[in-house]
Amino acid sequence: MSALIPYIDEPHPVTGVTNGKFGTWLFLASEVMLFGALFSTYIILRTGSTSWPHGYEVLNIPMGTVNTVILITSSVTMVLAWASLKMNQFGKFKLFLGTTILLSCVFLVIKYFEYAAKFQHEHYPWSSTYFAIYFTMTGLHGIHIIGGIVVNGYLWGPGSKMWKANPEQFAGRVECAGLYWHFVDLVWIFLFPVLYLL
């Protein structure tokens, strides 16, 4: 005997959103607090330091710029994947979500080469407070990218079987994954200028 959980497909009358979307927003609120604490720490340490390097002096701005374009593009393809489901175009969904996953992997490959260049120049997390913050914040962001790849990969692969059984619920899951992905992109949009350009 299976019990149905209410408000999976329909908005809850109190919150105005589905349970999945409400849970995703609560999770993202905790993520905002996590990254907010890290950005606050960065500001406090930077304003209190007498010798703080400028990001453009020690980081690779072209690589960071390319990664910014990649993540913004991946946000667009994520929206297009969800919109394709709403228009009953499953083939386009697979194409756009696959593109999102591919762009995510490209981001990580570029970040790998960027990290490798830092290590070749003997810039490690323990080298200075600046590099401790750089590796902590970009590393944590990278872990979130990997999490997004895992979730989107599941929705693209075995999880996509739900489309035939319950298309509305599946579209809701993709929308929740999209909310998470947009948050990850937004964090990078703040990280890039703060670490690379200032």
For 115-136, write each residue's pLDDT tens digit: 999 999 998 999 888 899 999 9
CATH topology of domain 19-197: Four Helix Bundle (Hemerythrin (Met), subunit A) (1.20.120)
Residue 39 has pLDDT above 70, yes or no: yes
Q: Where are the beta strands (DSSP E) in the chain?
A: none
Asked if residues 78 and 71 have their Cβ atoms less than 8 Å apart, the reply is no
Domain residue extents for the chain: 19-197
Work out the burial of residue 64: count CB atoms within 10 Å of its CB; fewer than 13 is exposed, 13-18 middle, 19 or more buried: buried
Under DSSP, is residue 136 helix (H, G, I), strand (E, B) or coil? helix
Which tokens belong to 148? 């997004």
Q: pTM for the full model?
A: 0.90
Residue 4 has pLDDT above 90, yes or no: no
Contact 194, 43 (CB under 8 A): no
Question: In what helix (H) or strand (E) does residue 162 lie, and over which residues does it extend?
Answer: helix 162-165
Q: What is the pLDDT of residues 141-182, one digit of tens each?
A: 999 999 999 999 999 999 999 999 889 989 999 999 999 999
Percentage of the residues of the chain whose pLDDT score is greater than 90: 74
**Residue 155 is encoded by which pair of tokens?**
């929705």
> Which contacts (CB < 8 Å, 24+ apart) does range 4-8 have?
8/169, 8/172
pLDDT at 1: 43
Torsion sign, CA atoms 101, 103, 107, 108:
positive
- d(CA 148, CA 154) in angstroms, rounded, equals 10
Whole-number pLDDT of residue 3: 56
